[in-house]
Amino acid sequence: MGSVIGDLLPIAVGVAVSPVAVIATILMLLSKRAGSTSIGFALGCLLGIFIATVLFVTLSSALSTSDNGPSATVSWIKLALGVLLLAFGVKQWRGRSGEHETPKWMQAIDEMTAVKGLGLGFALAAINPKNLLMCIAAGVSIGSASLATSGVIASVLVFTIIASSTVAIPVIGYLVSADRLREPLAKLKVWLQDNNTTVMSVLILVVGVVLIGKGIGGIF
């Protein structure tokens, strides 16, 4: 299981440092309904990552051989995911210097309820194309590793916890000590808004290269 966790770490970090989700978390923590909305958002992110990963663990298990390691199909899937992420990363990198309009859902965060926060968290974690590709990659890595049920569960949980940590930790910290975190969170939000495209494009490129390497290694 150790090698699987090693494969999952860069993918989990790629999901965790997604600036959009972190900025949304900070905006919620600075909103009128900071407590309830941010908790709903964090739960939505956890559920989205968990459900998407489990779904693709199940699908990839059906494509894997039980005695000779990952099938060629799984390796081709990893290669394809790597190429797609690489394309996303290059596209984001080229557009990093342009002006980006603030999404309407970000402008409406101040009026969001806990239920809407949960739905937004789920969508950003499981439906957002870049995160979905990384959850697919994680599910394929776990499902093709021929792990025991306990190993599969542990791997999914480790991936989910790491991938959602940058949303969950600020929410927990804010609930414990809101006054101390307001100013640091506001400064972090400004930095992420200025650098989010660069940060995300670099991470996507790294994860894409890793997956391409894993796919090529399994094919040849």
DSSP secondary structure string, 121-155? HHIIIIISHHHHHHHHHHHHHHHTS---HHHHHHH
Confidence band of 100 (pLDDT split at 50, 70, 90): low
**How distant is the alpha carbon of residue 40 from its chain centre?**
17
Average pLDDT, the chain: 81
Average pLDDT over residues 142-150: 88
Is the model more confident about 119 or about 108?
A: 119
pLDDT > 50? residue 57: yes
Confidence band of 47 (pLDDT split at 50, 70, 90): very high
Q: Which residues have a Cβ under 8 Å from the Cβ of 95 and sit 6 or more positions away?
A: 197
Confidence band of 64 (pLDDT split at 50, 70, 90): low
Question: Residue 13 in contact with residue 151, Cβ under 8 Å?
Answer: no
d(CA 114, CA 28): 10
pLDDT > 50? residue 68: no
Average pLDDT over residues 110-118: 86
Region of poorest pLDDT, from 96-105, 110-119, 123-132: 96-105
Dihedrals phi, psi of 126, to nearest 5 degrees = -110, -20
